Amino acid sequence: MTTHPAIAVSVEAMLEDLRTLVEVESPSRDLDALRTSAEGVAGVIETRLGGRAVLVESGGGPHVHWSGGGTPRVLVLGHHDTVFPLGTLARRPFLVEDGRATGPGVFDMLGGLVQAIHGLAALEDRSGVEILVTADEEVGSHFSRALIEERALACGAVLVAEGAADGGAVKTGRKGCGTFEVSVAGRASHAGLEPAAGVNALIEAAHQVLEIAALARPEIGTTVTPTVASAGTLDNVVPARATVVVDVRVESAAEKERVESAFAALAPHLDEAVITVSGGVGRPPMPESAVAGLFAVARRLLPGLEGRAVGGGSDGNFTAALGVPTLDGLGAVGGGAHADHEYLLVGSMAERAGLVAGLADAIRSA
């Protein structure tokens, strides 16, 4: 069994593969781009690990699945879609300079994928190991969730190659997260001649925003944040419609239920206004209890490794909620996820590849 993540990997080869994946842009929901990206991921996996990486078709784009054979024991989980639109690469090309790799998706999460693949390639025996790289994580994993849960239950342990927390810490807890959309239907009228004849959807939305924001309980980790609003058509028309989009993060199942119930119970303040609510907390919280066992193994492999609970969600939320031991944040050390300054620290790549390899070997050999 591997006891330390100091394995033989080539950082130069990892950077070559990272360049290959970054230079195939893969914005979520762009099915043509995602197909090209999936083929690129499959090619890297097959080149480094052998065997066949299968493209699993879905409405959200192709997922990539690879198995080392034998009885499934551990699932390495990631995604190949990114938040960056086509054309980002022309403005922000892949670059390695001053110990940093930059470019769209290097940290979230193509770097983690490459590190995991190369780490597993250093193992003599890869039986029992599976890799699943999905196409729609950044937009809720609606098309991949069932497959993720199926493979997680079959394998019994999950290593998530998402980017590390600050300072290289692994992620030992994640909030449940979701998005709600509150739609208001009112009635239009002339704002100057007959304002009272209308039902002002914007005023109703303003009432709702204040009521919604009051649902937050930051002292116990619940954030409820209105993020996008729209209303109205012309400056002399009482607005007949308005919408408010709300980001929600919770640390417990009880808070998930409370917030979802509160949204369902929203009622109009203005006569004849109609409120419609859609959405929910789609990713359940990832409790630290689901992480403890694998985190202890990781700390034996890499003494001094820190763990941190974070607010963002990942596909690890789904697997942990099933009771499957899950450890997240095993991917790139860096920062700037979803931002123009996104970067990966090249000096940490070999160590993180070794950590994934050591964990996979420890789980597989247990």
For 302-354, the pLDDT digits (tens) are 999 999 999 888 999 999 999 999 999 999 999 999 999 999 999 999 999 99
Q: For the segment 185-235, what is each residue's pLDDT rounded down to a tens digit?
A: 999 999 999 999 999 999 999 999 999 999 999 999 999 999 999 999 999
What average pLDDT does the chain have? 96
Residues with Cβ within 8 Å of 326's Cβ and at least 6 positions away in sequence, in order, are 152, 157, 158, 159, 160, 286, 290, 291, 294, 316, 319, 320
Task: Say whether pLDDT at 288 is over 90.
Answer: no
The pLDDT assigned to 2 comes to 41
Residue 282's CB: how many other CB atoms inside 10 A? 17
What is the model's pTM? 0.89
The pLDDT assigned to 3 comes to 43
Mean per-residue pLDDT, 297-306: 96
What is the sign of the dihedral through the CA atoms of 73, 76, 79 and 80?
negative
- Residue 323 phi, psi dihedral angles, 5° rounding: 90, 10
The pLDDT assigned to 5 comes to 55
Under the banding of pLDDT at 50, 70 and 90, the label for residue 84 is very high
Report the alpha-carbon distance of residue 345 to residue 340 in Å, rounded. Answer: 16
Q: List 159's β-bridge partners, or say none.
A: 76, 327
Length, in residues, of the chain: 366
Report the alpha-carbon distance of residue 265 to residue 199 in Å, rounded. Answer: 21
Burial class (CB in 10 A: 0-12, 13-18, 19+), 10: middle
Report the alpha-carbon distance of residue 28 to residue 315 in Å, rounded. Answer: 15
Q: At CA 141, angle to CA 58 and CA 151, rounded to 5?
A: 75
Share of the chain above pLDDT 90, in %: 95
| Residue 326, amino acid | T
Closest to 359 in 3D by CA, of 326, 332, 323, 319: 326
Mean per-residue pLDDT, 10-17: 98
Task: Say whether pLDDT at 366 is over 90.
Answer: no
Residue 96 gets the label, from left (phi > 0), alpha (psi -120 to 50) or beta, of: beta
